[in-house]
């Protein structure tokens, strides 16, 4: 969720429609407000009487209540997004370029307008965080339903999966927007904490390169070079071995972090490993950046034999 660009209202409505596609599942239910639909243990198989209703009927009511609340939140989000866009417009009118504002704020300075810009974006982040909190009760309800899914019919299980997926995607998107706002006000530690929450919520196969690079960059900005190194190595570990060392950009970043961390020997090994993956007749062109870095280290510290294998995890 990269933060709010100034979209036309028509584009906004279309985007929200995509996020919430299928939100209005047909199922009547009472309004739930901000409270989670009551979830009790469903310990009888569907069809077995439990008081005045069967377990299947109870599950249907809970699913319908969640669906109705999602529809309500969709309307709230459209209003919130319009407010946030107005705030973003006002903030952008105060500065020349966002990058320059971030640079000034990262140095602890900034003009009065830059400080006002920061305050507006922080208010935007807080508004979005408050809105995202309204999903927590729904996620709690869906977690309980998923826990008792063995008592649900196949159709109900499909609805549980669909609603769970929709809620998780929405929560992830909100967190990304919030993190970007904190990046814009030069607060890498808070942004990193939010991206870390996203990272921990995902299985390894869904932790894509973009997310890992973002965490690595913010870790470096926050002064945690070891975390940044480990994240770049994780990116490389996710690439098939035959193709791993063709990702020269990641190799250069990894080597640069080792240099910054005061480990030129390992940095040299990284650079040489990635250079060796380039065909000899193309090293002067495609590997120029790597060769320049190798030469700089060797001029400063002397030549060193490159290992046959790259540094192991934890190095």
Question: Could you tell me if 127 and 106 are in contact, meaning their C-beta atoms sit under 8 angstroms apart?
Answer: no
Q: Which residue shows structure tokens 């063709």?
A: 246
Q: How far apart are CA 285 and CA 174, in angstroms?
A: 42
Average pLDDT over residues 67-92: 94
Q: Say yes or no to pLDDT of 189 above 70.
A: yes
pLDDT bracket for residue 168 (50, 70, 90) = very high
In angstroms, what CA-CA distances link 15 with 22, 46, 77, 130, 186? Answer: 13, 38, 12, 21, 28
pLDDT bracket for residue 303 (50, 70, 90) = low
Q: Domain extents for the chain? A: 9-201, 225-315
Across-strand partners of 66? none
Q: Say yes or no to pLDDT of 17 above 60.
A: no
Query: Alpha-carbon torsion 248, 190, 18, 21, what sign?
Result: positive
pLDDT at residue 236, as a whole number: 93
Q: Say yes or no to pLDDT of 46 above 90.
A: no
Q: Say yes or no to pLDDT of 211 above 60.
A: yes
Percent of the residues in the chain that have a pLDDT greater than 90, as a whole number: 62
pLDDT at residue 122, as a whole number: 96
Percent of the residues in the chain that have a pLDDT greater than 70, as a whole number: 79
Contacts of 137 (CB under 8 A, 6+ apart): 34, 35, 36
pLDDT at residue 21, as a whole number: 42
Average pLDDT over residues 217-240: 94
pLDDT bracket for residue 53 (50, 70, 90) = low
Q: Say yes or no to pLDDT of 220 above 70.
A: yes
Average pLDDT over residues 121-144: 94
Q: How far apart are CA 46 and CA 31, in angstroms?
A: 24
Q: Which residue has the higher pLDDT, 303 or 97?
A: 97
Closest CA to 167 of 138, 194, 147, 189: 138
Q: Say yes or no to pLDDT of 214 above 90.
A: yes
Average pLDDT over residues 27-34: 39
Token pair listed for 56: 């299947």
Across-strand partners of 54? 49
Q: What is the pTM of this model?
A: 0.71
pLDDT at residue 71, as a whole number: 93
């Amino acid at each position: 969720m990269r933060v709010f660009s100034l979209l036309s209202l028509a584009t906004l409505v279309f985007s929200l429609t995509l996020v919430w596609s299928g939100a209005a599942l047909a199922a009547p239910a009472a309004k739930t407000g901000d409270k989670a639909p009551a979830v009790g243990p469903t310990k009888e198989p569907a069809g077995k009487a439990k008081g005045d209703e069967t377990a299947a009927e109870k599950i249907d009511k809970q699913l319908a209540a969640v669906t109705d609340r999602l529809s309500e939140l969709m309307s709230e989000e459209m209003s919130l997004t319009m407010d946030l866009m107005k705030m973003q417009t006002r903030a952008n009118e105060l500065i020349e370029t966002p990058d320059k504002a971030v640079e000034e704020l990262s140095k602890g300075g900034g003009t009065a307008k830059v400080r006002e810009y920061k305050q507006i974006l922080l208010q935007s982040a807080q508004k979005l965080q408050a809105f995202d909190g309204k999903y927590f009760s729904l996620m709690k309800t869906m977690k309980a339903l998923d826990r008792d899914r063995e008592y649900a019919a196949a159709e109900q299980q499909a609805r549980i999966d669909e609603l769970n997926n929709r809620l998780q995607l929405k929560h992830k998107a909100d967190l990304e927007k919030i993190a970007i706002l904190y990046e814009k006000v030069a607060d890498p530690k808070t942004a990193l904490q939010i991206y870390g929450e996203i990272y921990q919520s995902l299985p390894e196969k869904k932790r894509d390169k973009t997310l890992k690079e973002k965490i690595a960059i913010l870790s470096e900005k926050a002064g945690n070079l070891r975390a940044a190194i480990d994240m770049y190595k994780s990116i490389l570990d996710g690439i098939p071995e035959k193709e791993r060392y063709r990702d020269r950009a990641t190799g250069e970043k990894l080597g640069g972090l080792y240099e910054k961390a005061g480990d030129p020997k390992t940095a040299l090994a990284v650079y040489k490993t990635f250079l060796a993956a380039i065909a000899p007749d193309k090293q002067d062109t495609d590997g120029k950046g790597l060769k320049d870095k190798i030469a700089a280290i060797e001029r400063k510290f002397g030549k060193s034999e490159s290992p046959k294998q790259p540094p192991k995890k934890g190095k």
